[in-house]
Amino acid sequence: MEIEVELGKGWHWALLPLALLVLVGLVLLGRSVTPKGSSLLTPAEWGLLKAERAYREELGDLRQAAEELAALLNARPDPVRAGLAADRAEQLALEGQPALALQREALTRAAEAVRLWAMGGGSREDAEVALAEAVQLLQESALR
């Protein structure tokens, strides 16, 4: 038993209301996720928005690395954990936003100071000063 269905000559016109409904839905979705409300963003504005997002993400990563170094500094010296944490912090500092170059350098110095302290080659005070400087720079960056 075969059933044949013929759509007729003007069947594509029946899809027009569905296409319009999808188009209106996309417009409404676009308006709801556009940061500036109902205006469209220029390519320069999208670039700025993307750069701001990357800045905030990198700043969060740097702050997390600083918190990890501070936790190591407040615990008993553990050269292995300190070395791994310093390596992660130094890896973060290899590249990133130009606006955070100073913060990355300060975090690298703090990571090396914590590593030296944990291995017994440096003083705790030097590590605390380096870490405090890095944290201060990161806090100032968060306020911008």
For residue 144, give the DSSP letter. -
* pLDDT given for residue 93 in this prediction: 87
- Quick one: CA dihedral 100, 143, 44, 51, positive or negative? positive
| Chain centroid to CA 34 | 20
Reduced 3-state DSSP string for 26-86: HHHHHHHHCCCCCCCCCHHHHHHHHHHHHHHHHHHHHHHHHHHHHHHHHCCCCHHHHHHHH
* pLDDT given for residue 18 in this prediction: 83
The answer to whether residue 61 scores a pLDDT higher than 80 is yes
The answer to whether residue 30 scores a pLDDT higher than 90 is no
Average pLDDT over residues 88-109: 92
Domain ranges of the chain: 51-142
Which of 65, 69, 83, 75 lies closest to 119 in space, CA to CA? 83
pTM of this structure: 0.70
Q: What is the mean pLDDT of the chain?
A: 87
Which of 124, 88, 93 lies closest to 106 in space, CA to CA? 93
Backbone φ, ψ for residue 77 (5° rounding): -60, 125
The answer to whether residue 77 scores a pLDDT higher than 70 is yes
The answer to whether residue 37 scores a pLDDT higher than 60 is no
* pLDDT given for residue 36 in this prediction: 60
User: Residue 75 CB: number of other CB atoms within 10 A?
Assistant: 11
- CATH placement of domain 51-142: 1.20.120
